[in-house]
Amino acid sequence: MSKDILVIGGGIAGIQSSLDLADMGVKVHLVEKLPSIGGKMAQLDKTFPTNDCAI
């Protein structure tokens, strides 16, 4: 039995899932194919203008 969770994909959905679970105290492994997380949303100009502000 394992209580860890695997999240595949480090875009906005994967990030949010991971943070929710991690904040609950669950160990999360977040796997992202690219060198950094952020996904498509990081490429957007506005909406996600503030990488530090957002999440």
Q: Which residues bind another protein (CB under 8 A)?
A: 1-55
* Angle, CA of 15, 19 and 23, to the nearest 5°: 175
Q: CB 7 → another protein: shortest distance, Å?
A: 5
Question: In the block, which residue shows the tokens 């899932």?
Answer: 17
Q: CB 19 → another protein: shortest distance, Å?
A: 6
Ramachandran region, residue 14 (left: φ > 0; alpha: ψ -120 to 50; beta: rest) = alpha
